[in-house]
Every structure is written in structure tokens, then in C-alpha cells.
């Protein structure tokens, strides 16, 4: 029983990390219909910068986090301005490929900068700090992760619902041309979307890394963030609620399978593919995800 609760807890924490990744992804897609394969590496870059800020520049966690957020937001906006602006109207395949190119670029740059000596993983608390109830450990980092995710979701919701720019973003997501006709500055909306996505990526990356209990910064963070794709698909590409539901579901699936797989017959590392299997099953029934909408092709 305690194992089960422990696994559920870890699953939720992990799921929050995935939810944040999926959120960032969804924001970009909703605003500009771009599928950003590089979202995982935004995480990586952001987390790396936070790590550097914390350990090389000796800055406190919160400030380091803010610096990381600012940096990835800037990278996102710059990429959007320099590259994506010129690819408006190109077919989806091309745009996916461009973001894959960015993904490779970011990954390699960070790998080179890290070199042979990775910094410690940035985290608000020491990874051993936990609240222990009976035999179940509720790690402080994990708790922080969940709280922050909830805060981010709330903030995002408030932003989209109650602010001018949030409204503009929602309008653009529904119908770009109509939004343009209403005088909404699409370029600003795009930049905003990428900036927000970059910011969320850093937050997600830091907490993902923290809840994974790695002592050192892991260059594979971006790749492990690939597990967020099943979350994204589960939630449908363009639904905020879906992103969160998807993320948490996948986190739970991952942890539960990892926890119980030592019972042998499923072999090693089944938990790595469990999210993908769930995703495939969902796609078989609903090819556009649980919350997604059908696309119409015109002739």
C-alpha cells in the first residue's frame, strides 16, 4: 500500500513536469499552429542556465529561476522572429523539421558547454528533504513541483481569460484572419506565445530535473522530456486542460509501471515505453487525441 501511495505521489510530481511541458507546447500550437519539436530542448537550455546561475554565479534559486525564464523566453522569441516568421504558409512538415533542426542545435550547444563537468541539478530544496508520513516520503521538491504547476496553470488561465493579450491570443487561436481583421497584432501574439512557452519550459525543466532526484544536471533532460509527447497527444494538441490531464496521466503511467515492473515478465525498462503504448491505444480510438479536434482538408 505504501508503495502504491509513494508511486502515485511520484507520478503526480512527474506528471506535473510533463504537464508544464505539454502546456508550453500547446500554447505555441494554439497561437501559431506550429509544432515545436524543440520544446524539450528549451527545457534543457533553461534548466542549464538556472544551474549555471545557481552554482557558477552563486545566485539564489529564485533569482536563478527568473534568469533562466528570461533567457529561454528570449530564445523563443528570437527563434520565432528570425526563423518562423519566414516560414509562414509553409507546409507543416517543413515547420516540424525546422524545429527539429533547432532541437539538434540547442542540444549540441548545451552538450558542448557542459563538456565533461556538468553542474549540479538546480532545485529549490536539497533532494533529501522530505515530509515523511508513515513510510511514505513526500519529497519537498516534488511538492514544490506540484504547487508551482498549479500556480502556473492558474496564472495561465487568468492571463488567457482576463487580460487583453490573453484574449488576443485566444482570438488568434480560433481564427487568425478574423483576429487580424479586428486589429490584433499577430506578431505580438506569436512572440508572446513563444516567450511564455519558453518561460514555462524552464520552470518545467527545473522541476522535472528536481523531482527526478538526479544530483547532477543531466544533458538527457531534453530527451526524457520526449515522454511529454504522449502527454501532448493524449491531451489533444490544442487544449490547455488536455495538456494538464495528459501530463498527469502519463506521469502516473510512467511511475506505476516503473514501480511494478520488477515482477519480471515485462522485461527491463518497460516503463520507458508504457506512455507510448498508452498513446498508441488512444490514437487507435481517437486519432486526434482525447480532447483534440478534427482537421479538414480542402480540395
Q: Which residues here bind another protein, judged by CB under 8 A?
A: 35, 83, 86-87, 89-94, 96-98, 100-105, 107-109, 111-112, 115-116, 223, 226, 229-230, 232-233, 237, 267-270, 272-273, 276-277, 279-280, 283-284, 287-289, 295, 297-299
> Which CB, 230 or 247, lies closer to another protein?
230
Shortest Å, Cβ 283 to another protein: 6
The C-alpha atoms of residue 262 and residue 268 are separated, in whole angstroms, by 8
> Which CB, 82 or 181, lies closer to another protein?
82
Shortest Å, Cβ 144 to another protein: 29
> Which CB, 170 or 286, lies closer to another protein?
286
What distance, in Å, lies between the first and last C-alpha atoms of the chain? 57
The C-alpha atoms of residue 279 and residue 233 are separated, in whole angstroms, by 7
Q: For the chain, list the strands marked E by DSSP.
A: 130-133, 136-139
Calculate the alpha carbon distances from 231 to 53, 111, 142 in Å.
30, 26, 19
Shortest Å, Cβ 64 to another protein: 24
Q: Residue 85 has what DSSP assignment?
A: G
> Which CB, 152 or 193, lies closer to another protein?
193
Shortest Å, Cβ 92 to another protein: 5
Q: What is the dihedral of CA 167, 95, 290, 231, to 10 degrees?
A: -100
Handedness of CA 175, 176, 182, 187 (dihedral sign): positive
Shortest Å, Cβ 41 to another protein: 10
The C-alpha atoms of residue 46 and residue 43 are separated, in whole angstroms, by 5
> Which CB, 65 or 107, lies closer to another protein?
107
> Which CB, 183 or 267, lies closer to another protein?
267
Shortest Å, Cβ 250 to another protein: 12
The C-alpha atoms of residue 153 and residue 121 are separated, in whole angstroms, by 24
Amino acid at each position: 500500500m505504501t508503495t502504491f501511495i509513494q508511486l502515485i505521489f511520484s507520478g503526480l510530481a512527474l506528471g506535473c513536469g510533463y504537464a508544464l511541458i505539454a502546456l508550453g507546447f500547446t500554447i505555441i500550437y494554439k497561437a501559431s499552429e506550429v509544432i515545436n519539436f524543440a520544446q524539450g530542448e528549451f527545457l534543457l537550455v533553461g534548466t542549464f542556465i538556472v544551474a549555471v546561475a545557481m552554482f557558477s554565479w552563486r545566485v539564489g534559486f529564485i533569482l536563478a529561476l527568473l534568469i533562466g525564464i528570461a533567457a529561454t523566453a528570449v530564445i523563443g522569441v528570437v527563434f520565432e522572429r528570425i526563423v518562423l516568421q519566414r516560414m509562414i504558409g509553409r507546409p507543416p512538415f517543413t515547420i516540424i523539421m525546422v524545429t527539429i533542426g533547432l532541437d539538434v542545435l540547442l542540444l549540441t550547444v548545451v552538450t558542448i558547454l557542459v563538456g565533461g563537468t556538468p553542474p549540479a541539478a538546480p532545485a529549490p530544496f536539497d533532494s533529501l528533504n522530505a515530509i515523511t508520513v508513515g513510510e511514505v516520503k513526500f519529497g519537498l521538491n516534488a511538492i514544490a513541483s506540484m504547487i508551482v504547476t498549479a500556480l502556473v496553470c492558474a496564472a495561465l488561465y487568468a492571463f488567457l481569460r482576463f487580460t487583453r493579450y490573453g484574449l488576443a491570443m485566444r482570438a488568434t487561436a480560433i481564427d487568425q484572419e478574423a483576429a487580424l481583421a479586428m486589429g490584433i497584432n499577430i506578431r505580438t501574439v506569436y512572440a508572446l506565445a513563444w516567450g511564455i512557452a519558453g518561460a514555462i519550459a524552464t520552470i518545467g525543466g527545473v522541476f522535472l530535473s528536481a523531482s527526478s532526484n538526479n544530483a547532477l544536471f543531466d544533458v538527457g533532460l531534453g530527451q526524457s522530456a520526449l515522454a511529454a509527447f504522449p502527454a501532448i497527444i493524449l491531451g489533444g494538441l490544442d487544449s490547455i486542460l488536455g495538456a494538464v490531464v495528459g501530463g498527469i496521466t502519463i506521469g502516473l503511467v510512467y511511475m506505476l509501471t516503473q514501480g511494478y515492473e520488477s515482477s519480471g515478465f515485462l522485461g527491463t525498462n518497460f516503463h520507458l515505453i508504457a506512455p507510448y503504448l498508452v498513446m498508441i491505444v488512444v490514437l487507435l480510438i481517437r486519432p486526434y487525441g482525447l480532447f483534440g479536434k478534427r482537421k479538414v482538408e480542402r480540395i
